[in-house]
Structure 1
Amino acid sequence: MRWTARARGMARNQMSLFYTLFGSFIAVILLLVSINSIAYGFFRDNIKKEIILNSSLNLQASAANYEKHIKLIRSYMLGYLFDNNTQILKRGDPMRRYDVVIDVQKGLQHDLNNSLLYLDNIIYYFKDDDFVIERDGTRNAETMFSKFYNHPSYTADFWNKEMDGSESFRVYPAGPFRFVSPFEQKALGTFIPILVKNAYDHRFAFIVLLNANRAFEAFHQFKPDSSFFIVNAQRQVLFSSAAGTAPPPEIAGLTGEGYVRADEQYYFYRTSADTGFTYFEVVSNKGLAEQLHRLNLAMGALIALSILFGLIVSYWFSKRFHNPLANLIRSVQSRSAVGVPAGEGSRIKEFNLLQSTLSHLSRSNQEYHQDLLAKNNLLQQFAYMTRLKKIQGDGGTLATSIDDNGPYRLVLSQIEFKDRFAKEIANAPQRAFNMYRELINAHFSSRYDNSFTFQLEKDQILSILFVKNENEDRQEDDLDELVRMLGKDIPYCNFTLAISPVRHHSADFAETYQNVLDLIKQRRLGEDVQVIGEWIPRPSLMIPSPSEEQELTANLQAGGDDITIPLVDRLLDQLNKAGALAYQFQDFAADVVNRTIKIMYAQNVSIGSVADGGSPYDQLKSCHTLEQYKAFFHKFLARSAAAIQAKKSETDIITKFVMEYVEAHYGEDLSLDVIAGKLGITGPYLSTYYKEKTGTNFSDYIFSVRMNKATEMLRETDLKIQEIASLVGYYTVASFNRVFKRYAGITPSEYRRQHNQWRE
């Protein structure tokens, strides 16, 4: 009876605990919901202001985009206006300069392919000659504006009158243009005409047709129930996103920045200080109300879902907390009620469950203990690593085999996967590396007791060999067998084995490891297994020399692979003859690649044209012999030179003229004003234009051409220094010597002497 009463009381307590937890969760949920409701009510009134602010910011961004594009078109067309071909056509009868007309058409077709300009056409209009040039051909003005670009307002007479005005840049209202012929009528689109001309020239002008719809899609973020207008200073509507509509006159006259509400519409407006255009975005008040309504519905649904989800989760958590505790209490009370001794509880199911759980925990503890013993190897690795890396910490107190101060030596194995094999094992490189680690470990374990082999870096394996009899050294025999086994995999990997002398003190462990790291760097070129046991000092290599470095840079910039490839071959041969190590070849090759890439970047040449599907630095890692380095540079330098030459061939007519003129007259007066006068433009404009197009200063280009010619004459001729100075445009030998030394680092006489010595 007492047990039954206690059980019933426990049942009541269990139910009370469940409802207590569940009620607490519900109280927290209701508190959070009330806080969210109050916060939503507080911020709801500000949402409308945020929507209005968002519309204002959208209009601001659209106005800035339009203004920036109009400024871009103005700048772009000024370049056309002062172009050499334009000046030639304006000076004479354009219909007789057929060659220039063809160049103009090609230029138009190329530039109009630029989708970011949003231009449909650029029309050269010669008023007195009644002659028009556009991307598809030439024709008279009447045919052009009545047939090919027909619009009732923009006729040939209209443009003739507009050209008599004094404005050099004017934007006209957008209109639908059509192609009209006796057999066909076709809509071309909605264009915004722009007139560009010299303010004092009434005989020639450019008519630019800006695609209004494409520009609108690019510059304005469209919203439902909204429209967009552009109004000029004369209150003319230049563009309307809603065809056939315009803001009321009292609205169209607004200037400045802000918004007004009229006729259930919000009119946001912003006036540009540069063009005087006023940009309008019209948003329906109905649209704002619908947005708020949708927001209310979304918020209500979110709160309802939150309450439902909270109730479900609360019930689940309450049950999860309640059931284990109730079962545990029930098990303890059952055991106490029957008075069963501690060793006789098998008749009670809950007690058996607890006993089973405790037994399971005991077995798990034993398994964990065995697992810890099995991980002793990992702890040993950690202890050795902390000593090698000189890491100060508790790991340094772990006991290791070298603490006995017995004789030991280190063998560091470096494995480098070759390119073809690396691609084959791309999905499992560590598995292949582990295979070699196990092979090396098995080899040394069979010969040295307590030897320890583990991976130290991603490509390095360290073996610690404990030598019993220092006098009976089996180093050569042991390594010969290992080299023979590894040699079978030479087609797939390069192996470098660095072996230290026998050491006796654990304090020398980190120093010994540093010694074998230095030995690894002693690897020479070759595809083989190299065993290095002695460090041989290598002299520092001054390759290339300053003059060779200047020559290499100059020819890389010029794209002259006929010089750079033999020069790099010669430098590689010098490295090989001097006994350079593998990493020195890598450093030299990486330096040449760096120079080439910097020059390509400076000349706006795409690196992808020489990458060949991968990084040139990655390709360098696949070079292990002198022949492979030469083959790489033959291909890389040829492609980079071709890319630089191709880039140079793309230069426009002004830069092309400058380059051709300088190449032909490098010994004459090449001042900025002289060349600019031949082009019919100003010196400052030519300097700025050339710098923008080529990325090189005008004076630096002339200097490099003259110095390249001078070095060529010094190498290939027996002319006197004074004669060479005169031929490349310097009137005194002193000035020539000064600039040449700044270019090459040595005087012309020293340069010629060094070159002759090398040739001999």
Structure 2
Amino acid sequence: MPKYSKVFRRFLISYLVILIIPSIGGYMSYQTSISVTQSISIENSVTQLEKSQEILERRMAEVEGLTRQLAINQELNVLMNEQGRETNVFGIWRAMRNVLTFGQTNDFLQDYYIYLANYDLVLTAGSSYRPDHYYEIYHYKDLPLAEWKKEILDRTHRSEIKPLSAYVSKGTSTSVITYMQSLPLDSFNNSSPAVVVVNIDEKIIASLLSGLTERDGGWVHISDADGNTIVLQGQDNAYIDKLAADSFFDANKVSQFYRDDLVITTRSGTNGWVYQAGIPRSVLMENANKIKHMTWLITAGALFLGLLAGLVLAYRNSMPINRLLAVMKEQFGKEDSPERNEFDFLSGNIADMITKNKLLETELNRQLPLVRDAFLKRLIAGEFESREEIVSAAEQADIGLGEGTGYAGILQIKGYTGMDSVEILNELNAARILLKQTFAELAGPLPMTDMGSDKIVILFFSSTADGGPAGNEGGMERLMDQWVQRVFEEYRISVQGGFGEYFSSVTEVSQSFEQARQALEYAVYTNRKGVMRHQEVQIENTTYYYPLETEQRLISTIRAGELAEAGRIMDATFAQNLGPRELSMEMKHQLVGEMKGTFLKLLDQKIFMESPLGESAKRQIIDIDTSAPLESIQAEFLELTGELCGFITNKKKDAHTQIIKQMYKYTAEMYADTELTLYRVAEHVERPEKYISQLFKEVTGVNYSDHLIKVRMDEAAILLRESRYTVDEIAARVGYNSSHSFRRAFKRLTGISPSTYRQSHNE
């Protein structure tokens, strides 16, 4: 008995309950299927009997149609109306040739004759007879010659049918039903000029019902409106008589069970005939019994396997809980009251953990402003190495960057410089909150962070749908003027500000911020009211522009291989020193020397020291002539930057190529595995799934899923050409669970189906 047997037992009982529920559903489904199968069998039998009835009635209608054709036949009418003593031999011969050949298209009309009363002559298709001569060859066993003449030849008949009777035809015994019609059709006397008699062999009728008697082993009984038997196959008269006399048998029901037979009954709406078919219950339930046996076999097997699976799963699932219980009891104490079971113990401790997790999540949300503030401070300080790093950090801080372009600005509250008492700091804190709220009301939420106790840094990011202040410089200036005026009117707070130049990438935010800081310093120095742009600042010509932040950003972008970003930093630096400044020779030499030092620091990185490029690049840096014009020096630095970034990019490409080769090789080895996915490939190359998906698309130009399909289809094409496997077998060999999916993918890629491809190759 395991230590935590209660957990195991509860799992096992739950699995058994789950196993019993579908078993009950399966039993109900089984009963339904048996009922449906039986209903379908009955319906099919009824349909078959109705079709046989329809065919039989159609054939009988054709027999009646024959008599109508004979009634209007000119040659036969001439013979019926002749009263002379001389026999019209030619007319009789012509009637035998033309009239008595009508029945060749209907097997019900194989044996019929016409009796002419005025000639006392029986005409058949092959010859003519006197009645007594005809009776010697063809006659009813239970009807003497005189009775035959009286009942058949001398009476007037109006579509009469003689029930099934024993009959002798050329010495052969059989049973027939007889159809009789007097001519002309409007004969009302006791005798008529002519009588058409059609003898229909029981075997011919029975052949129409062979599907019910031969295939199902049943019986068929057809009776006329008076209960006289027309056809009886597969059963004797005693059984039929007993069936009709049984009070429990309802003759009005279409289908019902009688003894071991299903009896189907239909009635003709034209002649009142009753059609009955009996099908043995064993034949009727044959398919149902197959379903029954198979269902019980599958159910027994499923219950046995389900019980084994329940034991295994109960053990597997109880083991982690037992271990978890042990760990929790070790951590949270071993006190366990008798009324508190294991699940209550787990739920209580897990609920406590969830509560603590919620508190942690709340704390993280509370810290989100600090994360945003830290991100903005790093951004304006230029501490990020690449645009991708900035975008990822912005997403983590929940800050939108728009298109990554815009302006940076600094706003300072006037009148508090040099004041650092507690009262002043509290007042400044309240003033900054009011300024941010007012600005948010005017421009919406914008990235803002504090710098010191009296300054606020604002970043204006533009977007394609932004026609407001962040979208252009003029709109931004109008917004700032409104804001400065509003905070002064409502709160009597005076503000000075400075804005940098437009940055075209998020990596240049720190440069724009530095320009904004210079503009603010100049505005404070000149006591300029409102907001000043960097373009309005008069910069002293005694110094060069190359701050530490710019140097750090230049090193990080080259190390990341970002040639475009590094080029923009270089262009902006030289533009600052060539445009608003007129550097002295000494300042120019110092600027070039510092930039040389920057590149020498960069070449001390391990990746460059281990490469021949490091030495050649050092010589190239040393050879830069500081006395040359700044434009040519800029060109040399840009050329060197291109070489270094190209080297880094090639290193990255080599690494990427190796990853792609690994993916190609792994796909070629595992394409037949139906479970092969991009996640499995990512596990193999030890890289994130999203990363290798984007990398594969960038390097090869196609998605990995498309590449996998092509590999599988190429192998399938080889198998179609060179092997005798079926299409289903080939689908399984190239990694498809469904042959339908394989055919659809093959046709989408090649334009033709697999079978057509194989056939065209063979041809």
Question: Shorter-chain TM-score category?
Answer: 0.3 to 0.5
TM-score w.r.t. length of structure 1: 0.34
